[in-house]
Amino acid sequence: MFWLIWWSLGPDTPQEQAAFRAVWFTDGVLSQMLVLLLLHTRARRPARPVMLTVAAVVAAGVTLPFTALVPMFGMAPPPASVSPLLAVVVPPFLLCAAATQSLYLHHVLGIHPANKDR
């Protein structure tokens, strides 16, 4: 993912590098929140507080690069062409997380398919 974003933006100047950091930040927020939601909910519908928290963090993460606060974080507003790029980069990451979810539940948490509610 890193390489694809780097290659697509071609961050050669300090301004382009700052935009890259904003895109990388947004990608990280989206990926982490979606994986958190995936791992937290298992097969059930997520609780309302979880959904509200995830929605708030995603909204803040997507909005921050377009606010006046962005220079404080060494970022710059990304170009409009980034939205399709995120749509290409985030889903494969989520698919990999979904594919390994059962391994995580079984080997890390000790939850077996027959007793998911344990």
Residues 61/30, Cβ–Cβ less than 8 Å: yes
The identity of residue 77, as a single letter, is P
pLDDT at 117 over 80: no
pLDDT tens digit sequence for 88-104 = 888 888 888 888 877 87
**What's the rounded Cα separation, in Å, for the pair 77 and 21?**
9
pLDDT tens digit sequence for 12-44 = 889 888 988 998 899 999 999 988 888 776 657
Q: Which residues contact 92 (CB under 8 A, 6 or more apart)?
A: 1
Which of the two residues, 6 and 17, has the higher pLDDT score? 17
